[in-house]
Structure 1
Amino acid sequence: MKTHAIRPGTLDQTDRPLTCTAEQALRGSELPGRWARRERFVWLATGFGRGEQFLAAWQVWKADPLRCERLVFIAIEDRPLSRSELAQAGAPDLARQLHAAWPPLTHNLHRLSFEQGRVQLLLAFGEVAPWLAELVASVDAFVLAEAGGRDRYRLKSLAKLAAPGATLVMPGRNDALLTQAGFELRHNDGLTMARYQPRFIAQRPAARTPVAPGARQAVVLGAGLAGCAAAWALAEQGLEVRMFDQGAAIAQAGSGNAVGLFHGTLNPDDGLHARFNRAAALELRRILPALPLPWRIDGLLRTESTRDLAQMQALLADLGLPADYVQALDARQAGAHSGLPHQGPAWYYPGGGALSPPSLARAFVEAAPAGRVRFCSGQAIRQLRRAGDGWQLLDEDGRVLAETPLLVISTGTGSLNLLQTQGWPLRLQRGQITHLPTSTPGLRMPSIPVAGTGYVVTDQAGDVWCGATAQDHDLDPSLRETDHEHNIAQLMRLSNAEIEVVQLNLLQGRVGWRVIAEDRLPLVGALPDLAALEARRDQPRFIARQPGLLVATGMASRGITWAALSGQVLASLATGAPCPVEASLLDAIDPARFDARRARGQAA
């Protein structure tokens, strides 16, 4: 998907296409009657403006005793209002909540959550036609702005999004195109009213079919960041979740560091890595204020070694990234933020920062609807076995510890053992971090985390942690003096300080292991069914999947940033809820991407 800079709209903008009033949209969508007692209802609108349609639908939903369990409103807006403009649009209670949650204006799919997750707004900022091709959803009601005589929305693409019996309402007429797309039409008061009644319904790609649409229970293997985020997201969709881990408490292995960093990234081509990192960072930023965290640091600096300030500013202008996502700072400005002397420019991420990974993992569990996530400690799972419509979890003696219709594997390094038959290009990487007390001679304390070649950050007690080393296929759990030396050398370059440590052998630290994919993106999705016979294997979305089996692994050193969005993606793939990332990003993190690459290589 080609991204572009988002140009903010204004309240008095006169070039917006004609759209329905909120009352027309509700009446044309036959609401509230059509959502009565349903599990989920999905509305898609082209255009958002001040949010009139969304706010009206939300208000009607709140007042309806027969309402659906979950309302998902998807809106595509090429010229979204800025936060300051939106604030002028009115201040009823629901509008104030919308304003408080309003995201940075980046070319992303932004997930906003209200009513304890039961009302969700997916805001797609950018042009309508490309977004219609990228959305992964089953839509019950379309409300379109006037398209004019041209097919500016590629109306035929609505067919891949439409649920059986979906309604459509729009000003004006595009009869031929809508009929070709499978809609039956009628007209009333200048509006086109339509219902999706195709003669033939095309089969959706295998990876776009939910793996456990009727499941009410799930088991998550692994109680680190990825596992806890998956449990939270599944519970938000109404599932009862048991979380198994061989440890005695949550986040004791790879997610057990005292403090860790989170932030987005950018690169000149705004490719898949930059887009996924930005989407994940924005999702984390959105949910953090509502999580029960004891402590966090807001803001992060990342040093820049290859561009000068003018080049950095030119890159930001070219990408159109707003200041509430990332800023280019000179050395003086960087020093004012970090409290350290800087010799060159740096990127400042206002939504980045630092926190305790175990605290975040526990916060995911505590944020889940009451009673829906149960932690089962001291459970060592050695084998998985398909059993009817579900999965069995076995211990080392072959005893069945649990059965479930939906299983999520997120055991970090343990995933390599459970998934070794997949043949994915994953590697295990050892990392050591170093702890320095505040009394260390020459040590300078940063106000916010600083990253570059290495990183430095303070923990809740005010002590400094720096790191980290990276050694592939190294299973040594002991602290090494040479690694402490490496980390301190990086710290001195970052902080421009001369640090004196006489006895390296007395320093504290921590050793952990990261699972890293060769393309440095996580593996999040349904496991491929390699025994199935498909017509196509050249793209991940066409490869058949094992029912009821999902994985989240390969989090590398970005578990804090990636976990929340990865959990929401898994919940979508399990239940059929609209996906919080676009199709191209979903393919990029799909575990089957490696199988598709092999298939393309064999064909070539």
Structure 2
Amino acid sequence: MKTAPIVAARIERSPEGLPFAAAFGDVYHPRAGALEQARHVFLAGNGLPERWRGRARFVIAETGFGLGNNFLAAWAAWRDDPQRCERLDFLSVELHPPSAADLVAWPRDPAVAELAAQLHAQWPPLTHDLHRLSFEGGRVTLQLAFGAAAAWLPEWVARIDAFFLDGFAPDRNPAMWEARLFKSLARLAAPGATTATWSAARAVRDALHSAGFEVDKAAGSGGKRDISVARFAPEPSTRSARSTPPGRPRVRPVEPRALIVGGGLAGCGAAWALAEQGWHCTVFDRHAEPASEGSGNPGGLFHGIVTPDDGAHARWFRAAAFAFAPLARAALADGVPGAIDGLLRLEYELPDLAAMCERLARLGLPPEYVQALSPEAASARAGLPLRDPAWLFTQGGWISPRGLAAWLLRRCAVPAEWRGGTAVQGLQREGEDWCLLDGSGGVIARAPTVVLANAGDALRLLGASDAADWPVQPVRGQVSTAPAAGLQLPALPLAGAGYVLPPVGDRAVFGATAQRRDLDAAVRLSDHEENLAKLSRLLGSSPLPDASTLQGRVGWRWTALDRLPLIGAVPDAAAAGVGSADQPRLLPRHEGLFMFAALGSRGIAMSVLGARLLAAWVTGAPAPVGASLMDAVDPARFAARSRRKGLSSTRAAPAAE
């Protein structure tokens, strides 16, 4: 997906006192009021609240978020309904979202004023991303896609029960009413999905009909005679073509219970995210306490990244940073060691500050996410002299990964069971269940759903032998620690060629080495010396301790060849694919078997986003990232690439004589 800078809406006041979009020459809602339109057109027009009653989940998608009045009306109706669905997911897209100041400035109907204040408090930076906001303890979610609807609708991975079509008038904003947009709605529509819009234009009704919707007129309100309502009813011959590909999440009619192998940050995060969806989890680990291996360091960094092309890596880690920051603040407030005051990453490649600022302007990255600082400004933030300019990731920081993992287990909305001291030696399918086996082949536990969150050991349980399909390897890392007294440590975490944290208690924490396929568990003097060299480059002339006086810890970060994690349903190499099966989503999967592994050196930063994506795979909830990012982290991506290469070689081979 190609990103672009997001331009905030320019909202003026019309002569009638209504919010007016200068770019489109149209008002955001009629004189009768935004709440009246939302209730009559979009809620009643979609048969709500009646249709969501008794449902575990109901999903609404909207074209044109505007000032958020339709979302607030739906949320208020959900709150007021004693028979409401368990979870309400609302997806919306907006090309020109309001600034935080504009969102607060416009008055709200008293019926939704308190909800509007909660929306204001979570309003995200204006970046070309899918922003997930959570309310009501996770039972109401809002996924805001900033950018063009034509670009975002194909990226949504969800099954939609009701559509709110609320763009500006077709003659003012024709891009929101194109026929191809309605084709995208049809791809997303769940069986029996409904649609409502205030527009009764013939072109709109025809486009809905051609996309497979049965369209009717209904009485309007607020001076408007008619509105359009529709129900998705495609021709029988096209229904099979719309079935969910094997490599996409779907709702499975199974008991909401999962067995999770691995009690590090990935496993504990998976349990927390699944509990957010109402699932009960049992976490198995060979150690007695959570996060005793790769997640056991005293502290670690979290932040986004900036790249020239804003490709998959940059978009994934930016989305991860936005997802992690609210949870980090809650964990820190609850006593988990760490800080979220920002993080400085030294820039060694771009020639000067002007080049850094040009990159931010070209990518449209706002200061709420990242800022470019001169050496002098970076020094002021760090509290010590720095020689290089730096990126300031304003929502970055450091945290104890072990403390975070334990906190996630405690915060599970549905209590998770911890089974420490339990080594899982085997995995096998028996009927509808997956069985976890001990060393003698006995069954430890069984369930229809298993999540492998045990880093490289997941490949052993899967019997993975094809290096082309599973190019994952361990990277040994040694962290060094020393007494903080006598060292001039930064006020913020400082990264570049290595990293150093602010004081962690009375210790300095810095490092780290990176040795591929090195399985030596011993703390090495040579690695302490390497870490001191990195620290010297970060801190300049600050006096450093003797390497022989340092303490350290060794861990392994399992990393995929492309440095992205493995998150999703496990591919079934033995089964036949769909068509050529050269795309991850087309490859068949093992029913009920998922993985969350290969988090690499940025496991803390991606733990929340990755866990929620894993939960979407397991439960069929709307994915918290777009389809292109799902493909980028799909465990089947390497197998799909191998098949593409094979198909390419076959096509290129000369014909036999």
Q: TM-score, normalised by structure 1?
A: 0.97
Specify the code of the residue in structure 1 equivalent to 2:89: V
User: Residue in 2 aligned with 1:499?
Assistant: 543
CA RMSD of aligned residues (A): 1.6
Evaluate the alpha carbon distance shift between residue 321 and residue 382 of structure 1 in structure 2; reply closer, same or farther with a 3 A threshold: same
Query: Matches of 1:144 and 1:296 in 2, distance apart?
Result: 44
Specify the code of the residue in structure 2 equivalent to 1:159: A
2:97 corresponds, among 72, 80, 87, to 80
Secondary structure in structure 1 of the residue aligned to 2:601? coil
User: Residue in 1 aligned with 2:233?
Assistant: 197
User: Residue in 2 aligned with 1:165?
Assistant: 192
Query: Matches of 1:360 and 1:215 in 2, distance apart?
Result: 28
Matches of residues 113-128 of structure 1 in structure 2 within 5 Å?
113-128=134-149
Post-superposition Cα deviations, 1:133-166, rounded to whole Å, max 9, x if no partner, equal 1100000010112462755362111111000111
Give the deviation of 1:87 after TM superposition: 1.7
User: Residue in 2 aligned with 1:429?
Assistant: 475
Which moved further from structure 2: 416-425 or 107-116?
416-425
- Answer yes or no: is 1:69 the counterpart of 2:93: no
Which moved further from structure 2: 477-486 or 420-429?
420-429
Post-superposition Cα deviations, 1:532-570, rounded to whole Å, max 9, x if no partner, equal 112231100011111100001110011101111111111
- Answer yes or no: is 1:221 the counterpart of 2:261: yes
Secondary structure in structure 2 of the residue aligned to 1:403? strand
Give the deviation of 1:293 after TM superposition: 4.1
Matches of residues 318-357 of structure 1 in structure 2 within 5 Å?
318-357=362-401
Evaluate the alpha carbon distance shift between residue 422 and residue 71 of structure 1 in structure 2; reply closer, same or farther with a 3 A threshold: farther
User: Residue in 2 aligned with 1:185?
Assistant: 215
Give the deviation of 1:305 after TM superposition: 1.0
Query: Matches of 2:373 and 2:81 in 1, distance apart?
Result: 50
Give the deviation of 1:176 after TM superposition: 2.3
Q: Which runs of 5+ in 2 are unaligned?
A: 13-20, 30-36, 219-224, 649-657
Specify the code of the residue in structure 2 equivalent to 1:439: A
Number of matched residues?
Answer: 600
Specify the code of the residue in structure 2 equivalent to 1:430: R
Give the deviation of 1:365 after TM superposition: 1.4
User: Residue in 2 aligned with 1:297?
Assistant: 339
User: Residue in 1 aligned with 2:161?
Assistant: 140
Post-superposition Cα deviations, 1:92-141, rounded to whole Å, max 9, x if no partner, equal 22111111111111111111111110000001011011101110000001
Query: Matches of 1:122 and 1:165 in 2, distance apart?
Result: 22
User: Which ranges of 4 or more aligned residues in structure 1 deviate by more than 6 Å?
Assistant: 17-20
Give the deviation of 1:208 after TM superposition: 1.6
Query: Matches of 1:6 and 1:190 in 2, distance apart?
Result: 34
Secondary structure in structure 2 of the residue aligned to 1:417? helix
Secondary structure in structure 2 of the residue aligned to 1:208? coil
Which moved further from structure 2: 13-22 or 112-121?
13-22
Secondary structure in structure 2 of the residue aligned to 1:519? coil
| Structure with larger RCO (C-alpha < 8 A, sep 6+) | 1
What's the % identity of the aligned pairs?
A: 46
Q: Is the 8 A contact 2:250 2:620 kept in 1?
A: yes
Query: Matches of 1:411 and 1:64 in 2, distance apart?
Result: 42
Post-superposition Cα deviations, 1:351-397, rounded to whole Å, max 9, x if no partner, equal 000010011111211221152x1111111000001011120000001
Q: Is the 8 A contact 1:522 1:552 kept in 2?
A: yes
Q: Is the 8 A contact 2:10 2:23 kept in 1?
A: no
Q: Is the 8 A contact 2:134 2:142 kept in 1?
A: yes
Secondary structure in structure 2 of the residue aligned to 1:493? helix
- Answer yes or no: is 1:361 the counterpart of 2:377: no
User: Residue in 2 aligned with 1:6?
Assistant: 6
Specify the code of the residue in structure 1 equivalent to 2:234: P
Secondary structure in structure 2 of the residue aligned to 1:558? helix
Specify the code of the residue in structure 2 equivalent to 1:238: G
Evaluate the alpha carbon distance shift between residue 247 and residue 230 of structure 1 in structure 2; reply closer, same or farther with a 3 A threshold: same
Give the deviation of 1:205 after TM superposition: 1.3
Secondary structure in structure 2 of the residue aligned to 1:206? coil
User: Residue in 2 aligned with 1:384?
Assistant: 427
Secondary structure in structure 1 of the residue aligned to 2:413? coil
Evaluate the alpha carbon distance shift between residue 148 and residue 18 of structure 1 in structure 2; reply closer, same or farther with a 3 A threshold: farther
Specify the code of the residue in structure 2 equivalent to 1:296: G
Q: Is the 8 A contact 1:525 1:573 kept in 2?
A: yes
Specify the code of the residue in structure 1 equivalent to 2:170: G
Give the deviation of 1:422 after TM superposition: 5.5
User: Residue in 2 aligned with 1:239?
Assistant: 279
Q: Is the 8 A contact 2:374 2:388 kept in 1?
A: yes
User: Residue in 1 aligned with 2:65?
Assistant: 48
Query: Matches of 2:519 and 2:459 in 1, distance apart?
Result: 14
Q: Is the 8 A contact 2:93 2:152 kept in 1?
A: yes
Give the deviation of 1:82 after TM superposition: 1.6
Evaluate the alpha carbon distance shift between residue 25 and residue 15 of structure 1 in structure 2; reply closer, same or farther with a 3 A threshold: farther
Higher Cα radius of gyration = 2
Q: Is the 8 A contact 1:211 1:549 kept in 2?
A: no
Evaluate the alpha carbon distance shift between residue 112 and residue 209 of structure 1 in structure 2; reply closer, same or farther with a 3 A threshold: closer
Post-superposition Cα deviations, 1:296-331, rounded to whole Å, max 9, x if no partner, equal 222100001122100000000000000000000011
2:501 corresponds, among 453, 457, 464, to 457
Query: Matches of 1:334 and 1:543 in 2, distance apart?
Result: 47
Q: Is the 8 A contact 2:482 2:545 kept in 1?
A: no
Query: Matches of 1:410 and 1:530 in 2, distance apart?
Result: 20
Evaluate the alpha carbon distance shift between residue 527 and residue 211 of structure 1 in structure 2; reply closer, same or farther with a 3 A threshold: farther
User: Residue in 1 aligned with 2:606?
Assistant: 562
Secondary structure in structure 2 of the residue aligned to 1:159? helix
Query: Matches of 1:326 and 1:258 in 2, distance apart?
Result: 26
Give the deviation of 1:203 after TM superposition: 1.9
Evaluate the alpha carbon distance shift between residue 260 and residue 213 of structure 1 in structure 2; reply closer, same or farther with a 3 A threshold: farther
Q: Is the 8 A contact 2:244 2:250 kept in 1?
A: no
Give the deviation of 1:439 after TM superposition: 3.0
Secondary structure in structure 2 of the residue aligned to 1:499? coil
User: Residue in 1 aligned with 2:49?
Assistant: 32
Specify the code of the residue in structure 2 equivalent to 1:501: P
